[in-house]
């Protein structure tokens, strides 16, 4: 399976996972909001209905001291006792329940559950109220019912001993609340649909963002393996070819084949250096770089390094100069610092010509100190400086091979500097040349 296919498959998996997570979160949020709204939208009506039970006076009625019903006219002699009783109860409910909330409709029922009167704000109510369900066993708690295309919240109470009237069924219309809830439900469904689309887009973008460093590392690792294989192949090919030439002349003496033996030894050393560099980088990547800190005299350290390379530089008509305060003391790993400086000086020697100068200097910058390795050589283009610390990168690959480099020196230098908690950069040295600037902390 190709790398591109693997990346696309992983992108699809991550996008689907994030889409499911975001969609589930939006759905749970929507359900939570809907539940809160549906539970609270009837709260006012339900609390008012329950208040009727809390106030016992609302469910009783009084007659006038004379014994006749309060709303019965003078000619009540023709009215039956039950009718007078119902009128009296209706008046009491009119004065109590309707005054509490004019939206209430009160149905008065007898012991058999038959509707005997309807009390409310209006003089008459539609006949479909007779179809309102009634259950004598379902008392004192809120329920929802419907009739005539309308929805009501209601509660049923048992009356005290009031003759033929045994139950009061109090209703309140909630059509407007249901309309609000339905409108909110449709709006919520639309928002959830939009949220699902946003989740898909966000999942895709986040997956690309998440996979980007992984893909870059993957490609860098692939490129690293390819470059390492290429660098290893060259000395191995030379060693193999030269060895085969030696085997073709088994009777020859070593002195007669000295050049071939020297080539094998030289390429073997180069191969060993490359393997050591790769091992160092792999340990650094694994976070297993160990440092042994000690007091280092930077002035003496730079002069010692310059002295070690001075003869080699003189053979090429180049000069190494040192400009540093002899009293500058820092806390660092001396061996790693020596390796770092060796890489930078060796790199400067490779890319300078006769009569060029390599200058080593150091100075204190607050709680840090800066090391400069400047040369007056050919310099490095700004574009190449941005990639100089990448492994196996060479601005001039042909020239790099002629000088014996394999493109790992600056990567090793960067790892050493970062292990000390510092930074390293390459800058232009005006009017020509390059300056390697290393900034390290004074103390651990």
pLDDT, residue 372, reads 93
What pairs with residue 392 in β-bridges?
none
Is 192 part of any domain?
no
pLDDT, residue 403, reads 52
Is 87 part of any domain?
yes
* CA 391/CA 278 separation, integer angstroms: 10
Question: Residues of the chain whose pLDDT is less than 50?
Answer: 61-81, 85-86, 91, 95, 397-402
Is 209 part of any domain?
no
Tokens of 107: 């149905």
What pairs with residue 358 in β-bridges?
320, 375
Of 234, 257, 285, the residue that ends a domain is 285
* CA 155/CA 104 separation, integer angstroms: 11
Of 173, 204, 228, the residue that ends a domain is 173
DSSP state letter for 120: S
Is 108 part of any domain?
yes
Q: Do 241 and 115 lie in a common domain?
A: no
* CA 192/CA 196 separation, integer angstroms: 6
Q: What is the CA radius of gyration of the chain?
A: 48
Q: What is the pLDDT of residues 206-255, one digit of tens each?
A: 888 888 887 777 777 777 777 677 777 777 888 888 888 888 888 888 77
Q: Do 310 and 222 lie in a common domain?
A: no
Burial of 334 (0-12, 13-18, 19+ CB in 10 A): middle
Name the one residue in this structure whose structure tokens are 């014996």. Answer: 404
Q: Do 305 and 229 lie in a common domain?
A: no
Is 37 part of any domain?
no
Q: Do 125 and 260 lie in a common domain?
A: no
Q: Do 236 and 108 lie in a common domain?
A: no
Give CA separation, 428 vs 248, 371, 385, in Å. 52, 15, 9
- Residue 414 belongs to a domain with what CATH number? 3.30.565.10
Q: Which helix (H) or strand (E) holds 294?
A: strand 293-297
Name the domain count of the chain.
Answer: 3
Expressed in angstroms, the distance from the first to the final Cα of the chain is 48
Q: Do 262 and 334 lie in a common domain?
A: no
- Residue 158 belongs to a domain with what CATH number? 3.30.450
pLDDT, residue 92, reads 54
Is 427 part of any domain?
yes
Q: Do 164 and 273 lie in a common domain?
A: no
Name the one residue in this structure whose structure tokens are 């902390």. Answer: 441
Cis peptide, bond prior to residue 431, ω within 30 of zero: yes
Q: Do 138 and 258 lie in a common domain?
A: no
Q: Do 305 and 409 lie in a common domain?
A: yes
Which range of residues forms the domain containing residue 404? 293-441
Of 173, 188, 204, the residue that ends a domain is 173
pLDDT, residue 356, reads 92
Q: What is the pLDDT of residues 325-349, one digit of tens each?
A: 778 889 998 888 988 898 899 889 9
Q: Do 337 and 237 lie in a common domain?
A: no
Q: Do 246 and 311 lie in a common domain?
A: no
Full DSSP string of 427-444 = EE-SSSSEEEEEEEES--
- Residue 226 belongs to a domain with what CATH number? 1.10.287.130
* CA 206/CA 203 separation, integer angstroms: 5
Q: Do 165 and 227 lie in a common domain?
A: no
* CA 416/CA 424 separation, integer angstroms: 10
Tokens of 119: 């009390």
Burial of 301 (0-12, 13-18, 19+ CB in 10 A): buried
Is 401 part of any domain?
yes
Q: Which helix (H) or strand (E) holds 319?
A: strand 319-323
pLDDT, residue 261, reads 85
* CA 11/CA 103 separation, integer angstroms: 59
* CA 243/CA 118 separation, integer angstroms: 117
Is 358 part of any domain?
yes
Instruction: Give every CB contact of residue 46 below 8 A, 6+ residues apart in sequence.
Output: 142, 153
């Amino acid at each position: 399976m190709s790398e591109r296919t693997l990346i696309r498959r992983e992108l699809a998996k991550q996008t689907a996972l994030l889409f499911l997570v975001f969609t589930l979160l939006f759905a749970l949020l929507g359900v939570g909001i809907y539940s809160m709204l549906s539970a609270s939208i009837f709260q006012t009506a339900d609390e008012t209905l329950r208040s009727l039970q809390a106030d016992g006076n609302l469910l009783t009625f009084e007659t006038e001291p004379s014994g006749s019903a309060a709303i019965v006219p003078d000619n009540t002699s023709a009215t039956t006792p039950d009718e007078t009783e119902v009128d009296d109860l209706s008046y009491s409910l009119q004065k109590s329940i309707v005054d509490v909330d004019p939206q209430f409709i009160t149905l008065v029922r007898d012991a058999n559950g038959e509707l005997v009167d309807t009390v409310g704000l209006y003089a008459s109510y539609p006949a479909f109220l007779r179809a309102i369900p009634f259950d004598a066993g379902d008392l004192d708690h809120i329920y929802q019912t419907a009739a005539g295309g309308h929805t009501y919240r209601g509660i049923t109470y048992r009356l005290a001993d009031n003759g033929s009237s045994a139950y009061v069924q109090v209703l309140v219309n909630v059509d407007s609340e249901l309309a609000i809830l339905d409108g909110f439900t449709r709006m919520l469904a639309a928002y959830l649909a939009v949220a699902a689309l946003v989740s898909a887009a966000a999942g895709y973008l986040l997956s690309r963002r998440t996979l980007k460093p992984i893909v870059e590392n993957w490609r860098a690792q692939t490129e690293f393996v390819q470059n390492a294989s290429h660098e290893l192949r060259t000395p191995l090919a030379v060693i193999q070819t030269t060895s085969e030439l030696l085997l073709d002349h088994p009777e020859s003496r070593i002195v007669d084949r000295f050049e071939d033996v020297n080539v094998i030894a030289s390429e073997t050393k180069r191969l060993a250096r490359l393997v050591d560099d790769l091992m160092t980088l792999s340990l650094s990547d694994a976070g297993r770089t160990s440092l042994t800190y000690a007091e280092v005299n930077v002035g003496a350290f730079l002069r010692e390094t310059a002295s070690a390379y001075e003869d080699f530089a003189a053979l090429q008509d180049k000069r190494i100069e040192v400009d540093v305060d002899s009293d500058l003391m820092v806390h660092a790993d001396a061996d790693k610092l020596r390796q770092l400086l060796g890489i930078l000086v060796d790199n400067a020697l490779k890319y300078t010509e006769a009569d060029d100068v390599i200058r080593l200097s150091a100075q204190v910058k607050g709680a840090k100190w800066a090391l400069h390795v400047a040369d007056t050589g050919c310099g490095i283009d700004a574009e190449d400086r941005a990639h100089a610390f990448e492994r196996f990168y060479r601005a001039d690959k042909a020239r790099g091979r002629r000088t014996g480099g394999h493109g790992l020196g600056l990567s090793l230098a960067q790892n050493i500097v970062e292990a000390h908690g510092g930074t390293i950069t390459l800058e232009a040295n005006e009017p020509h040349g390059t300056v390697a600037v290393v900034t390290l902390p004074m103390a651990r």
